[in-house]
Amino acid sequence: MSNKESASEAEKLVGEVVHYYSKIGVAVVELSDSLKKGDSVRIVGGVDTDFTQKIKSIEVDHEKIEVAKKGDSVGLKVDQKVREGYKVYKI
């Protein structure tokens, strides 16, 4: 198990990527905790994917929202390509 797979104590797992739309750069994330516009997240997965970004846009059913809650399936615009199974941490 690599260090990449484990999050630091300041980070909290908030979801997992379940789909990725490569043409528009949007990840569909199943949330296990709440997330809001402006939060910073770290996305980790695969061999070499580990990046942080600020959430600029959250959508549910093509509607822009400010806050998503646990259990929601949301679309997030992401800065890099991601794949199903990648973990999303709030930092």
Q: Where are the domains of the chain?
A: 20-90
Residues 6 or more apart whose Cβ sits within 8 Å of residue 24:
none
The model's pTM is 0.88
Q: What is the biggest distance separating any 2 CA atoms in the chain, rounded to whole angstroms?
A: 38
20-90 in CATH: which number? 2.40.30.10
- pLDDT for the residue numbered 8: 61
Kindly tell me the burial class for residue 76, based on how many C-beta atoms sit within 10 Å of its own C-beta (0-12, 13-18, 19 or more): buried
Question: What pLDDT does 10 receive?
Answer: 79
Q: Could you tell me whether strands 73-77 and 58-60 are parallel, antiparallel, or unpaired per DSSP bridges? A: antiparallel
For residue range 15-50, what is the model confidence (pLDDT) as tens digits? 999 999 999 999 999 999 999 999 999 999 989 999
Region at 85 (left for phi over 0; alpha for psi -120 to 50; beta for the rest):
left
pLDDT of 4 > 90? The answer is: no
